């Protein structure tokens, strides 16, 4: 299978991995030829990348252990959604009762996510399964949690500490429920006034969580501080490195990374290595440099199925990951010296320190 940008697809291409909706129902199965109408609809629904069948890459498969079981992902999204809906209840007793119940479920599901991350020795890749979601905030909250937990594990946090981090990450954007939908989902750049209002979601989230039974001050601080930056350029307080909690530093990295690698109405998603470049641009000033390096080790920088060019001009497909060195994957070399090889061969970039990936190609052909 080969990873391809949706805009480069031609009618007749067949999916190598199915596309699912947020309920887990298969929308388009493998082996079904895509029509121009289907391709256009996928673009409209925010799909950026898909896996297609390719004669030269039939042997390349995505390891399912690099992803999270859909049933658990769905349960996590539903638990976050329940918190949002509970907070919208106008009757105070009803709101408090529902909140206590939904927060307990967040902790329960968060602990299950921690178990999944702790028991998985593969690098994390959320690009390998294609889902269509109708609510970005809920899917973003779960993605941020998974990235934060993967980073936390990489830097050596214990399971009990990760469970606290997971709860804070799942609830970090809860304040957005008080932001007007037309601002939250605006298909373009926010005005200064709109951005000023958007920034209030951190304070709103903190106040909501501090007044909610069974929510720790630590979880509330994650909502409050996840947009703070080491150099004091963040919000809402503009505090600097020493005053920002470790969890908030972790969630800040996960939050930005998922935001830039997710498809939005106003821009297309970046690939993982491009998202990392955004983080590294702020390393040492906005984000902790050592944490970004740890994050790079924890995720699939170059996803399986991506067609790449090496600095010696050989070209091939990312075929396997190297745990801890995800920017040094295995490459199935398919082109050499300007010609297509009859017998592709695999190399391990970990064993070839002079070789680097210099570009990628997401086109179908």
The CATH architecture annotation of domain 2-53 reads Alpha-Beta Complex (3.90)
Q: What's the rounded Cα separation, in Å, for the pair 284 and 286?
A: 6
**CA neighbor of 50 nearest in space, from 98, 82, 2:** 2
Tokens read off for 308: 């790449």
pLDDT recorded at residue 132: 66
Q: Is 51 helix (H, G, I), strand (E, B) or coil?
A: strand
User: Exposed (0-12), middle (13-18) or buried (19+): which is 67, by Cβ within 10 Å?
Assistant: buried
pLDDT recorded at residue 105: 94
Contact 176, 137 (CB under 8 A): yes
Task: Rounding to the nearest 10 degrees, give the CA dihedral for residues 293, 294, 295, 299.
Answer: 110
Fold of the domain spanning 65-298: Hypothetical protein af1432 (1.10.3210)
* Helix 136-154 with 246-260: angle, nearest 10 deg: 130
Give the pTM: 0.89
Q: What's the rounded Cα separation, in Å, for the pair 120 and 113?
A: 11
Q: What's the rounded Cα separation, in Å, for the pair 101 and 232?
A: 37
Q: Is 7 helix (H, G, I), strand (E, B) or coil?
A: helix
Ranges of residues in the chain with a pLDDT under 50 are 65
Provide CB contacts within 8 A for 301, sequence distance 6+: 272, 273, 276, 326, 327, 329
User: Beta 307-310 vs 130-132: how paired, if at all?
Assistant: unpaired
Q: What's the rounded Cα separation, in Å, for the pair 169 and 221?
A: 10
Provide CB contacts within 8 A for 78, sequence distance 6+: none
pLDDT recorded at residue 90: 66
pLDDT recorded at residue 63: 62
Buried b (16+ CB within 10 A) or exposed e, 293-317: bbbbbbbbbbbbbbbbbbeeebbbb
pLDDT recorded at residue 127: 62
Beta bridge partners of 317: 307, 332
pLDDT recorded at residue 365: 59
On the question of a cis peptide bond just before residue 49, with omega within 30 degrees of 0, the verdict is no
Dihedral over Cα of 70, 185, 164, 147: its sign: positive
């Amino acid at each position: 299978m080969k990873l391809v940008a949706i805009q480069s697809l031609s009618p007749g291409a067949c999916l190598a991995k199915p596309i699912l909706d947020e309920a887990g129902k298969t929308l388009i199965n493998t082996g079904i030829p895509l029509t121009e109408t289907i391709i256009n609809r996928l673009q409209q629904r925010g799909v950026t990348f898909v896996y297609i069948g390719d004669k030269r890459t039939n042997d390349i498969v995505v390891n399912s252990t690099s992803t999270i079981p859909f049933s658990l992902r769905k349960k996590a999204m539903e638990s976050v959604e329940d918190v949002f809906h509970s907070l919208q209840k106008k009757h105070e007793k009803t709101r408090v009762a529902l909140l206590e119940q939904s927060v307990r479920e967040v902790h329960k599901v968060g602990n299950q996510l921690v178990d999944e991350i702790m028991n998985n020795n593969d690098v994390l890749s959320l690009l390998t399964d294609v889902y269509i979601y109708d609510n970005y905030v809920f899917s973003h909250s779960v993605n941020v949690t998974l990235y934060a937990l993967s980073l936390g594990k990489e830097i050596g946090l214990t399971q009990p500490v990760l469970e606290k981090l997971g709860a804070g990450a799942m609830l970090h954007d809860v304040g957005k429920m008080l932001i007007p939908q037309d601002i939250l989902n605006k298909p373009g750049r926010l005005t200064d006034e709109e951005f000023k209002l958007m920034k209030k979601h951190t304070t709103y989230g903190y106040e909501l969580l501090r007044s909610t039974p069974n929510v720790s001050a630590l979880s509330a601080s994650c909502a409050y501080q996840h947009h703070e930056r080491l150099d004091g350029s963040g919000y809402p307080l503009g505090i600097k490195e020493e005053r920002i909690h470790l969890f908030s530093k972790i969630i800040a990295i996960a939050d930005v990374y998922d935001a830039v690698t997710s498809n939005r109405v106003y821009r297309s998603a970046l690939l993982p290595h491009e998202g990392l470049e955004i983080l590294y641009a702020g390393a040492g000033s906005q984000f902790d440099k050592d944490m970004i390096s740890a994050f790079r080790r924890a995720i699939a920088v170059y996803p399986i199925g991506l067609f790449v060019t090496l600095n010696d001009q050989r070209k091939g497909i990312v075929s396997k990951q190297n745990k801890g060195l995800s920017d040094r994957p295995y490459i199935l070399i398919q082109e050499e010296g300007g010609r297509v090889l009859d017998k592709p061969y695999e190399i391990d970039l970990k064993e070839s320190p002079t070789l680097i990936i210099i570009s990628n190609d997401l086109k179908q052909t």
